[in-house]
């Protein structure tokens, strides 16, 4: 526990931007993440809420799933400020996009809860830190890494998200679902650390729902060729070329939805 508290003090506490990172919502290795999604009351309450009780706002055409940010709350992080500028460039069509964050260990977090208080969790004042599924992080901070518990965590979160997907599928809430996440490494390979992709692919398979998972290898190769591998490794989907691609892709999707 002493090492855990030290990790929290030095690393996790710095990630809050005007909010508190709650120690009991910090998970530093795969077994802790798995225990969070199967035993932690705060986490399980949220997962059950989104899966079984939450209804998306009306008149949304596209569900856009975007990765959680290192800094909390999401909308104050660099990647989300960049994303917001991209979505604002859609003008009035922005209101037809429903943004949700994919998170370990909280599954899906709708944009309505980025700032507003809810009866299910006080997102406004207390947030979380969960780097525990990343092998590089565990190695860096001397935490036990287990592929078994990574897989179990991925499967558990995928099952919760699949329930949400089945619900919105039956209600025909969206005409398109797009996941704009880290799909490949800068070497154009899939990695076990790409947990968002693994979760979404598994959830889509369980629910038999088509999710367009982007960006593709061609775009990542373009970013690497122009700016180097570190550009993709550091900035990922927040890279300017990735955001320009997302903007044009959303415009095309929304245009098709009109026809």
- The CATH code of the domain that includes 50 is 3.40.50.10630
How many domains would you assign to the chain? 1
pTM of the model: 0.95
Tens place of pLDDT per residue across the chain (259 aa): 566 667 666 789 889 998 889 888 999 999 999 999 999 999 999 999 999 999 999 999 999 999 999 999 999 999 999 999 999 999 999 999 999 999 999 999 999 999 865 655 555 578 999 999 999 999 988 899 999 999 999 999 999 999 999 999 999 999 999 999 999 999 999 999 999 999 999 999 999 999 999 999 999 999 999 999 999 999 999 999 999 999 999 999 998 877 6
Domain coverage including residue 75: 2-258
pLDDT at 56: 96
Q: In the 3-class helix/strand/coil scheme, how is the chain assigned residue by residue?
A: CHHHHHHHHHCHHHHECCCEEEEEEECCCHHHHHHHHHHCHHHHHHHHHHHHCCCCCCCCCEEEEEECCCCECHHHCHHHHHHHHHHHCCHHHHHHEEEEEEECCCEEEEHHHCCCCCCCCCCCCEEEECCCCCHHHHHHCCCCCCHHHHHHHHHHHHHHHHHHHHHHHHHCCCCEEEEECCCCCCCCCCCCCCHHHHHHHHHHHHHCCCCEEECCHHHHHHHHHHHCHHHHHHHHHHCHHHHHHHHHHHHHHHHHHHC
pLDDT at 1: 55
């Amino acid at each position: 526990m002493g090492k855990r508290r030290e990790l929290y003090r030095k690393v996790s506490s710095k990630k809050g931007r005007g909010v508190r990172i709650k120690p009991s919502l910090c998970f530093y290795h795969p077994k802790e993440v798995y225990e969070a999604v199967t035993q932690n009351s705060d986490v399980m309450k949220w997962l059950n809420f989104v899966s079984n009780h939450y209804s998306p706002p009306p008149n949304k055409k596209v569900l856009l799933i975007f990765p959680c940010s290192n800094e909390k709350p999401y909308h104050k992080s660099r990647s989300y400020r960049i994303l917001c500028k991209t979505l604002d460039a859609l003008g009035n069509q922005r209101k037809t996009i429903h943004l949700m964050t994919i998170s370990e260990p909280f599954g899906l977090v709708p944009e309505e809860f980025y700032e507003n208080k809810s009866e299910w969790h006080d997102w406004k004042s207390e947030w979380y830190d969960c780097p525990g599924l990343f092998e590089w992080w565990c190695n860096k901070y001397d935490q036990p890494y287990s592929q078994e518990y990574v897989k179990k965590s991925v499967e558990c979160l995928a099952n919760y998200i699949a329930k949400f997907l089945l619900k919105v599928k039956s209600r025909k809430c969206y005409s398109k679902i797009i996941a704009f996440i880290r799909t490949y490494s800068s070497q154009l390979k899939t990695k076990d650390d790409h947990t968002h992709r693994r979760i979404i692919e598994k959830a889509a398979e369980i629910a038999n729902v088509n999710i367009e998972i982007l960006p593709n290898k061609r775009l990542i190769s373009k970013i690497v060729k122009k700016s180097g591998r570190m550009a993709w490794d550091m900035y990922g989907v927040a890279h300017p070329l990735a955001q320009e691609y997302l903007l044009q892709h959303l415009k095309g999707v929304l245009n098709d939805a009109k026809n």
